Amino acid sequence: MPRKKSQRSLQRLCLENIARNMQRVWAKDYTDKYLDEYQFRYIQGPFSELAGSLVLELMSLMGERLTRAMLHLLLVPHLKELYLHICPQLVSKAIAQMVTARCKNLTSLLLTGCSRIPSAALIDLVEGLPGLTTLALGETQCNTQVLSAIGSTCKRLRVLDISDCKKLSPASLFHLAYDPTAGTFCCQALKTLEVDGMESSTPYGSDLPWALVYLLLALPSLVFLENEFATDAVCLIHDLHFGGVQVPPGFPSLKDLVLRWASANPDKVGSKPTLPLKELMEVSESNLRVVRAVCPKLAKVTVFLEERPGLSRHFLPWASLTSLTLECSGLRQLEEVLPVTRRLGTQLESLSLDGFSYEDEMSFHILLGHCPNLRKFHAALFHYWKGGQGEEASDKDGRRPLAPHAFPQLEDFSLSFSELQEPSPQLQVLKASLASLLKRSPRLGSIMLLGLPFSLDDAFAEVLGAPGTDTAFPHLTFLSLSGCKVSSGTIHRILSLDNPLGNLSLDRCPDIHRKHYDELLQRVSREGLEVRITWE
């Protein structure tokens, strides 16, 4: 059964005790006497000797209960990581100055949503923390000068988030990659850059993709760029039509960046630039050929499919691809994916399919058989059945049993249905495929079944085995059966399994009523189980 409420460790109990008494005991003297004395470079207090990881855990325990005095006491010099996005309302200019003065050893700093810190204080903060490798400034007052400070100071930076910063413009991005005063390139170790929500402004803001082109060519280590125009920038690099593109004064031109790339890749003389990007989130099917030419190392991609029969031939071959998401903008049948999964399925670790029509009764089962090494699978399908079709599939006695597929690595499985007009015999095949998958995926930790149009009792009965056994789903932590037909008896059997199940969603399940929900809650309380059940 789900784990019973366990005795917390002595360390955890001590931290919880400190958290409960933080204001009344630990922060009282400081609050009464010294709260507004900002001249203290360090505070020699009860948390000076506490390990940095425990300080972070204590902050997390406090959450919204954190006060300014508590935060002052917890800004200790030996912190390596600091996550202030949990209390953005407390983070002011004074707090930023304290972090700058006290936390010189930080390598990771998250300030997402901390909009009270002035730009000037952000500059001082960045310049005082040259060892940063991860920095999140989303939804802050980050501006061009802050990016310039990051570029010239944070030589080790690997991850940067500057999403939704209203003071940034496309022209600001040039300063992240190049320092015109020193005449040197910056952030050469940067691997991940998130820059969503960029505002348009003149003279360069009307053409944000060109600013992204500059970043992609000037940052040689960049493997992920999150922005809606990232794919457009990749296509511009492929075309190499740079004439008339404005670059701020003092910065190398785009042609200069191409020459710089060529000098760094002498074995590719005469070739168009290629990028080390490993992930792109918004690629249209028509741009797939160009994207693959410029980004030959792509391992994770989201492709938006257009309204036309058959998938692009540019999916094949694709040796580096391990994670594929396909989203339909129009009517596409699931069986159209089969040629791609037949060739690429064994290398895929993640596959997500959104908006496909389930028409061919065997397509789902065949597709799964192509992908035995999946760790994550998601499918949001819809199906229209008008009757008079598929009667042969409904005859269980006359249909050959499905060949079982095993998924030894599968950890995350999600299947949802929508827009179903009426139950179809074809869904018996889908039901059998689901039962087979659940039974032969021993590492499943998360299962989401949403709106499936058949009862799950038979499927789970096959998976769970004979009553009294408890060997199914040994690693399950999350189960959602929202909108599905399932009986309370099946739910009780699931609660009897030996696994770490912590969350169970039964929202909108038509066969689960208030009395069943109350019975489940009573059992959880009676047996002391660590599982949260939701129902509405």
Q: In a 3-state reduction of DSSP, which class is residue 2? A: strand
Cβ neighbours for 19, distance < 8 A, ≥ 6 positions apart = 58, 61, 62, 65
Q: What is the pLDDT along the chain (536 residues), one digit of tens a residue?
A: 566 555 567 787 787 777 777 777 777 777 666 667 655 656 666 777 778 888 888 888 887 788 888 888 888 889 999 999 999 999 999 999 999 999 999 999 999 999 999 999 999 999 999 999 999 999 999 999 999 999 999 999 999 999 999 999 999 999 999 999 999 999 999 999 999 998 554 444 457 999 999 999 999 999 999 999 999 999 999 998 787 788 899 999 999 999 999 999 888 766 889 999 999 999 999 999 999 999 999 999 999 998 777 787 888 889 999 999 999 977 789 999 999 999 999 999 999 999 998 888 899 999 999 999 999 999 999 876 555 444 444 444 445 677 889 999 999 999 998 865 555 656 788 899 999 999 999 999 999 999 998 899 999 998 998 666 668 999 999 999 999 999 999 999 999 999 999 999 999 999 999 999 999 999 999 999 999 999 98
Nearest to 173 by CA among 114, 217, 107, 235: 217
* CA distance to 177, 182, 259, 311, 498, per residue, from 173 (Å): 7, 17, 21, 36, 52
Other Cβ atoms less than 10 A from the Cβ of 201: the count is 14
Cβ atoms 357, 384 nearer than 8 A: yes
CB 353 within 8 Å of CB 378: yes
Give the three-class secondary structure for 297: coil
Phi–psi pair at 283, nearest 5 degrees: -120, 125
Torsion of CA 324, 330, 336, 342, to 10 degrees: 0
Number of neighbouring beta carbons within 10 Å of residue 301: 26
Task: Indicate the domain borders of the chain.
Answer: 1-76, 77-268, 455-536
| 3 state SS of 491 | helix
Helix H or strand E encompassing 214: helix 208-218
Q: What angle do CA 331, 336, 339 make, to 5 degrees?
A: 160
CA distance 506 to 225: 38
Q: What DSSP state is assigned to residue 3?
A: P
Q: Could you give phi then psi for residue 45, rounded to 5 degrees?
A: -145, -165
Please provide the distance, in angstroms rounded to a whole number, between the alpha carbons at the two ends of the chain.
24
* CATH superfamily of the domain spanning 77-268: Ribonuclease Inhibitor (3.80.10.10)
The CA distance from 354 to 326, in Å, is: 6
